[in-house]
Structure 1
Amino acid sequence: MNTTSKKVAAGMAGFASVLWLGLTAAVAASQRRLVFNPTVKREVQSPRSSGHRTRPVVLRAKDGTRLCGWLMTPPLPGPQPAVLYFGGRSEEVSWVARDAGKLFPGMTVLAMNYRGYGASQGDPAETHMVDDGCMLFDWLAARAHVDPRRIAVVGRSLGSGVAVQVAKERAVHSVVLITPYDSILAIAKRRFRAMPIEYMLRHRFESIKYAPSLTAPTYVLRAAVDDVIPHSHTDQLVAKLAQLKGDDIIPDSDHLNIPYLEATQQRIATFLHGQFSLPAMIAAEHRLPG
């Protein structure tokens, strides 16, 4: 190789290095936008469940941040089982109030928007989502009309990672995960193969690390076609879940439409009703590890 060729090669290598560093810096700087996509506009303008008394709720996180959502209470006497719902990356949760009669019949439901989503204040972050989720669980468990021993967590897509971590920290009765993943870190590594993403990504949502310690019966629902969370990433998580009770694929579903489909809603309602109907002793045995 002559001197000119060497200079050209060195220049190209230098340009490639600068480009790689620039892309790496861009990913590091924009990771919040890559992981979260806050939706402010309501999906349903006047959310109301046909099977519940529906009311808007405003709660304060531990640091004072204002969180907004809806509480749905069935018109039934006595303490009832309850559900705490966690939405996806781009999801505003008013639709849950609309569909709660089919999804969660006879159950109290709390659906709150993450920080920065809907009318909730603040900025989204993994630590905030988990801390706020635990606070919401405690708030729900303290309601007079809720049976604190029968509270399920339901998480969709990004929210499956929140649900898993809340289930690790609180005495959750049962868990439903819709299009879940092993970790956001693993998905990011798949997308940005040439970058040291493990050194840049702050919001990792590593559900696979917590799955073996979950003691609550867990039900997994997958989309038939999912170009956001490939089934291979769900496979990794499912293999580690300590109390897996079901792993179903919803026909004719994709990553976006799966929670709205009648088949999905019926299966979730059936699973939760079955778990909540178990005698207390059997339910406690189901929550034991192993």
Structure 2
Amino acid sequence: MKHTKKVAGLAGIASVLWVGLTAAVAASQKRLLFNPLGSKREVLRPYSSGHRTRPVVIRAKDGTRLSGWLMTPPIHGPHPAVIYFGGRSEEVSWVARDAGKLFPGMAVLAMNYRGYGDSHGDPAETHFVDDGRMLYDWLAERHHVDPKRIAVVGRSLGSGVAVQVAMERNAHAIVLITPYDSILAIAKRKFKAIPVEYVLRHRFESVKYAHHLKAPTYVLRAEQDDVVPHSHTDLLVEKLGQLHADEIVPDSDHLNIPYLESTQQRIAGFLAQRFDLPPVAANPVASDPAAPLQPNS
């Protein structure tokens, strides 16, 4: 009898701990998923050597103030254009700095998410996607932009935003940097003892939308990625409606991949081809072919 009571008592304690841990994850999921406090401006005075660069403030449909940068080529348009969606902890001023290498000859809109950088509001999947569609439409209405040639580029968390925006807008091309099948799947892998499917509100389930994408999609993976395992990218790639290429960037990890010259040359070359722009001059560092993708990597 004493043994039975002891076992029952331990089971009760375990249940309480399990419920408490589940509740803690549910309550802190915004902090776990979004990290706007770590998104201080990367570049104090963002400026693209290949564009006219200006800060812009755009109001979301609910009036929330969103801040970022619009870059336009110095010659008359209309130009092909790119809208960029950043990662979990990413402040996007660096895009304005590097736009000349990443997006030569293209108009570029890089806006900080709600709660990031100088943007107001609270982070949430629904806000990110709704704002993304609005920003796409705003960019398409600029007189110097060709509305039929707009690409979406998303990095890490932002790949989930890019997929959903591209699904509902007529994107001309899509670039996904270290993308995943879903945040829900990654969370279930990380918190195996917790029923995250019942508590996670921001799921970013790209794998559900991937087959709807009609534009050529270019996937870039980090060689070493301990945030988005390649198996989670595999599941997304299998579902993509029109895969252009799936490449690993040598000597890259989840954090440094967008800043590498090799990555930037690959993206610039793909978009220039899609937009029928003059070929991007090859950089010796970036001219090597992509590392072959190994089965089950």
Instruction: State whether TM-score is above 0.5.
Output: yes
How far does residue 41 in structure 1 lie from its aligned partner after superposition?
1.4
1:131-150: CA deviations, max 9, x gaps?
00000000000000000000
Question: What is aligned with 1:287?
Answer: none
Question: What is aligned with 2:291?
Answer: none
- In the alignment, the residues of structure 2 paired with residue 169 and residue 69 of structure 1 have an alpha-carbon distance, to the nearest angstrom, of 23
How far does residue 32 in structure 1 lie from its aligned partner after superposition?
0.8
- In the alignment, the residues of structure 2 paired with residue 277 and residue 161 of structure 1 have an alpha-carbon distance, to the nearest angstrom, of 27
Q: Over aligned residue pairs, what C-alpha RMSD do you find?
A: 0.8
In the alignment, does 2:241 pair up with 1:222? no
How far does residue 223 in structure 1 lie from its aligned partner after superposition?
0.1
Question: What is aligned with 1:100?
Answer: 99
How far does residue 58 in structure 1 lie from its aligned partner after superposition?
0.3
Question: What is aligned with 2:169?
Answer: 170
* Paired-residue identity, %: 78
- In the alignment, the residues of structure 1 paired with residue 158 and residue 126 of structure 2 have an alpha-carbon distance, to the nearest angstrom, of 13
Question: What is aligned with 2:30?
Answer: 32
1:213-247: CA deviations, max 9, x gaps?
10011000000000000000000000000100010
In the alignment, does 2:137 pair up with 1:135? no
How far does residue 76 in structure 1 lie from its aligned partner after superposition?
1.7
Question: What is aligned with 1:187?
Answer: 186
The answer to whether the 8 A contact 1:250-1:264 is kept is yes
- In the alignment, the residues of structure 2 paired with residue 40 and residue 229 of structure 1 have an alpha-carbon distance, to the nearest angstrom, of 20
How far does residue 40 in structure 1 lie from its aligned partner after superposition?
4.2
- In the alignment, the residues of structure 2 paired with residue 219 and residue 109 of structure 1 have an alpha-carbon distance, to the nearest angstrom, of 18
The answer to whether the 8 A contact 2:67-2:118 is kept is yes
Q: Which amino acid is the alignment partner of residue 156 of structure 1?
A: R
Count of aligned pairs: 276
Question: What is aligned with 2:86?
Answer: 87
- In the alignment, the residues of structure 1 paired with residue 124 and residue 210 of structure 2 have an alpha-carbon distance, to the nearest angstrom, of 21
Q: Which amino acid is the alignment partner of residue 173 of structure 1?
A: H
- In the alignment, the residues of structure 2 paired with residue 40 and residue 153 of structure 1 have an alpha-carbon distance, to the nearest angstrom, of 21
- In the alignment, the residues of structure 2 paired with residue 169 and residue 243 of structure 1 have an alpha-carbon distance, to the nearest angstrom, of 15
- In the alignment, the residues of structure 1 paired with residue 75 and residue 231 of structure 2 have an alpha-carbon distance, to the nearest angstrom, of 42
What 5-or-longer segments of structure 1 have no aligned partner? 279-290
1:160-214: CA deviations, max 9, x gaps?
0000000011111100000000000000010111111111110000000000010
- 2:228 counterpart SS class: coil
Question: What is aligned with 1:23?
Answer: 21
The answer to whether the 8 A contact 2:39-2:89 is kept is no
- 2:89 counterpart SS class: coil
Question: What is aligned with 1:282?
Answer: none
Q: Which amino acid is the alignment partner of residue 29 of structure 1?
A: A
Question: What is aligned with 2:295?
Answer: none
- 2:267 counterpart SS class: helix
- In the alignment, the residues of structure 2 paired with residue 78 and residue 71 of structure 1 have an alpha-carbon distance, to the nearest angstrom, of 14
- In the alignment, the residues of structure 2 paired with residue 261 and residue 41 of structure 1 have an alpha-carbon distance, to the nearest angstrom, of 21
The answer to whether the 8 A contact 2:39-2:90 is kept is no
- 1:18 counterpart SS class: helix
The answer to whether the 8 A contact 2:39-2:117 is kept is yes
